[in-house]
Amino acid sequence: MKRRAWIKTTALFGAGWMLGTDGSRTAHAEASSASAQFSTHDLLEQYERRFAEARLRMPDRNPAVPADRDAIARVTKDCLGVRDEWMPKIQAEKVREAAFDGGRIEMLRATSWPGVTATALLYVPADAADRPLPLVVLCCGHGKGGKLTDGYQRMARHITQRGAMVLCPDNLGQGERVAMGHGDCVKPFACGTSVQGLIVMETLGWVAWVLKQPRVDPCRIAAIGNSGGGTLTVFLAALCPELAVLSSSGYPSTFDFVARKEKKHCHCNILPGVVGQLEMWHLLGSFAPRPLFIFQGDGDPLFPPDLFYHTARKVRHAYRARNAEKAFEARVMAGGHSWDVPRNVALGDFLARRLGLKRSAGRADEKEPLLSEKDRCVDPWPANALTTDQLAEQLAGRRIDDSVHLWNIFPPTVARDFPLEDIAQRGSTRQILAQFEAFLRQPGARDKSKSR
């Protein structure tokens, strides 16, 4: 961009920012004059520069250094809006169970926060001994049906047949909790948290619940997850010291890459302020010296293998700095984005080595019926159960206007009357720019949401 265009464009965006906050008529006139000469394309180009600037100013943090590792955890909690005083205390009960070849499945109904209904499946090996068993928390992604997605069920059964218990909770607004709202929830951001932050806190609550179960070995607790579950396990790497073993797949790359996608994100993918503060390798490296396995498919359409290799190199360096390189494993495997039989076996082998499980799960019966949608833990869904938005308001003690949009909370740096064109093919420009602003938010920045 030529210097003159740069000055005019900067004036436009600067004026727009002023207009968006104080309604200055002078700024409005300047912005209107300049807007005719610039396009939405130019605006998106400016955001590319801001992302580049954010990467350049990122603090130098080394997860192998205790003080930096503490800072990584602290900044992670700040970006997600995770607060110790907001951690839920899970109360769960078995409502019924079902058998399968190699074990049984306990269907759990629970409450996490007051008024919040939760659901989970607990897989128990058929030959469970009297002594406490290792347990694996299987973190769901966006598979249709949540914990009942075929891929999650098959992975859970595979691990159970190797001798571990598996806990598979439905995330907020997913699976049979869909009535809570998930992908478009805005109020959590207005309340100082995030959709992912709420999911992380509830998962930490489940881990705390697991630790209290007498049939669980508290020294052999693991967490695994793919895609959206891979997102969750990246955060658990930095925030859950109780875990002995971890695996994250179908996500490890860079936060910058995720943030710059010109698409409408599921709102659980929006991580306020993370760009310019943290990268995924910081969090994954914080798990050292405990065993960690990251992997993905070579044909994954969402995350390029090149970025995976880049992140794996950095994580390995952090492990090497703590004399724990042998505890870290990273692989790119044949296949696409989702778990499949080879990845079930690879992850099962990793867990077997690290948790002392059976080396083989035996031959799985592919024809054995899985649980179906009718196998719900709560039916019907309680009419008085809190939604995800209501939960955020309850935690923050705030009432947010129902008409609030993401761009009200993270307003783009452009005049209100700037003629935005929807030139991206996977979402409205205003939504995408609001997402950019969220990821680029400066630490301590205040939101512009309506509350009463």
List C-alpha distances in Å: 40 to 8, 35, 36, 206, 418.
14, 10, 11, 45, 9
Q: Tell whether 106 is covered by a domain.
A: yes
Question: What is the Cα–Cα distance from 185 to 120, expressed in whole angstroms?
Answer: 22
- Is pLDDT above 50 for 426? yes
Spatial CA neighbour of 224 closest among 128, 300, 148, 156:
156
Domain limits at 228?
Answer: 78-355
What token pair was written down for 213? 């179960």
Beta strand ranges found along 233-390 (DSSP E): 245-249, 292-297, 328-333
Residue 330's DSSP bridge partners are: 294
In the chain, the number of structural domains is 1
Hey, what amino acid is at 372?
S
Residue for token pair 């990845």: 343
248-271 average pLDDT score = 98
Amino acid 445: pLDDT:
61
> How far out from the chain centre does Cα 28 lie?
38
Please indicate, yes or no, if residue 126 is contained in any of the structural domains.
Answer: yes
Task: Check residue 128 and give its pLDDT.
Answer: 80
3-state secondary structure at position 408: helix
φ, ψ dihedrals at 32, nearest 5°: -60, -40
pLDDT tens by residue, 85-104: 999 999 999 999 999 999 99
What would the pLDDT profile of 290-309 be if each residue is shown by its tens digit?
Answer: 999 999 999 999 999 999 99
| Span 75-87, pLDDT tens digits | 999 999 999 999 9
* CA angle (388, 70, 249) in 5-degree steps: 55
Domain presence at residue 392? no
- Measured distance CA(400)–CA(447) in Å, rounded: 12
d(CA 384, CA 216): 33
- CATH code, domain with 200: 3.40.50.1820
- Reported as half-sphere exposure (CB side, CA atoms, 13 A), residue 180 has a value of 25
Give this prediction's pTM. Answer: 0.91
What DSSP string describes 48-70? HHHHHHHHHT-----TTSHHHHH
| Alpha carbons 27 and 30: distance in angstroms, whole number | 5
Q: With contact defined as beta carbons under 8 Å apart, do 30 and 24 qualify?
A: no
For 11, phi and psi rounded to 5 degrees?
A: -65, -40
Number of residues that this document lists for the chain: 452
pLDDT of 272 strictly over 90 = yes
**Are the CB atoms for 123 and 166 separated by under 8 Å?**
yes
Q: Does residue 365 form part of some domain?
A: no
At residue 99, φ and ψ (nearest 5 deg) are -100, 155
Q: Quote the CA–CA distance of 139 and 229 in Å, as a whole number.
A: 5
pLDDT at residue 362 in the model: 67
Q: Provide the b/e sequence for 35-66 (b: ≥16 CB within 10 Å).
A: beebebeebbebbeebbeebeeeeeebbbbee
Residue 23: inside a domain: no
Do the Cβ atoms of 16 and 24 come closer than 8 Å? Answer: no
158 found inside a domain: yes
Confidence grade of residue 221 (pLDDT, cut at 50, 70, 90): very high
- The pLDDT value recorded for residue 368 is 87
Amino acid letter, 226: N
Residue with token string 């991580």: 271
Q: Which helix (H) or strand (E) holds 7?
A: helix 3-22
Q: Are 104 and 188 within 8 A, CB to CB? A: no
Q: Which of 198, 297, 279 is nearest to 237 (CA)?
A: 279
| Calpha distance 296→75 (Å, rounded) | 27
pLDDT for 29 equals 42
At 123-172, the pLDDT tens digits run 999 988 788 999 999 999 999 999 999 999 999 999 999 999 999 999 99
Q: What is the C-alpha to C-alpha distance for residues 384 and 116, in angstroms, rounded to an integer?
A: 9
Q: How far apart are CA 170 and CA 336, in angstroms?
A: 24
CB atoms within 10 A of CB 305: 15
Closest CA to 185 of 269, 115, 251: 269
- Residue keyed to tokens 């190699």: 102
Contact assessment for residue 72 and residue 278, using Cβ atoms and an 8 Å cutoff:
yes
- As a whole-number percent, the residues of the chain with pLDDT over 70 amount to 89
Q: Sign of torsion, CA 265 269 275 280?
A: negative
The tokens for 423 are 């030139």
The C-alpha atoms of residue 451 and residue 190 are separated, in whole angstroms, by 8
Q: How far is 181 from 420, CA to CA, in rounded Å?
A: 28
Tell me, yes or no, whether 427 lies in a domain.
Answer: no
- The span from the first CA to the last CA of the chain, in angstroms, equals 44
pLDDT band at 226; cut points 50, 70, 90: very high
Per-residue pLDDT at 344 exceeds 60: yes
Whether 237 and 261 have beta carbons less than 8 Å apart is answered as: no
Report strand pairing: 245-249 vs 292-297. Answer: parallel
Alpha carbon 101 to its chain's center: 32
